[in-house]
Amino acid sequence: MGLLKCVALTLTLASASWGFTPRVAPLAPTSILQAAESEVSFGELDGSDVRVGIIRTRWNDEHVTNLVNGCKKALKECKVKEENIFETSVPGSYELPLAARFLALSGTVDAIVCAGVLIKGETLHFEYISEAVSSGIMSVQLQTQLPVVYGVLNCLNEDQVKARSSGDNNHGYDWGKTAVEMALLRMEALNIKAGTTDKLAALGFAKPTPLEVGKKPAPGFF
């Protein structure tokens, strides 16, 4: 008998002697498919002017490819143009945050999806990589003000990965929708015109005026 069941039974027996019977919620069934289905809903999204970068890992290539295909399917449904989808790859998930930062600073995309798969092994490698990647991706989007979707599956076994990267439950699909929604939110919040490549100008900073050749600027305090 599991620990939770023992606790529930003890509470029931003890409370019965006190004259009342508490309502104990049923225990959730144990299954590798638990929480696999998406609970997120999206409205109509017009991504016709949105540029999305997809950075994927080559580690666990087959599963990641399925996730990327799901992401592209969602982008297509959101009317994101084929020429506005940029895709590149890195060796593994640990390299995703830095690659995302490079792409974010280039000013060529409006959102980024980082796609990868991590499967727990016998050592602590899984825990260290998962935490580092999650923290790194969050830091990139906060520092660059560019949405970076965390598209990394952290699973205990391959069956869990398959349940979340194939068929009608491909999580990559949700990541694509999320990228478009967050890109549109960023444009609206920061008053950025679609297709803008000059990030500073889009955020309200004036472009520097080039100095005329042969003229020296006067010191500012004179």
- 171 is a catalytic site residue: no
What is the 3 state secondary structure string of the chain? Answer: CCHHHHHHHHHHHHHHHHCCCCCCCCCCCCCCCCCCCCCCCCCCCCCCCCCEEEEEECCCHHHHHHHHHHHHHHHHHCCCCHHHEEEEEECCHHHHHHHHHHHHHHCCCCEEEEEEEEECCCCCHHHHHHHHHHHHHHHHHHHHCCCEEEEEEEECCHHHHHHHHCHHHCHHHHHHHHHHHHHHHHHHHHCCCCCCCCHHHHCCCCCCCCCCCCCCCCCCCC
- 125, 138, 195, 200: the catalytic one is 125
Catalytically active residues are 125
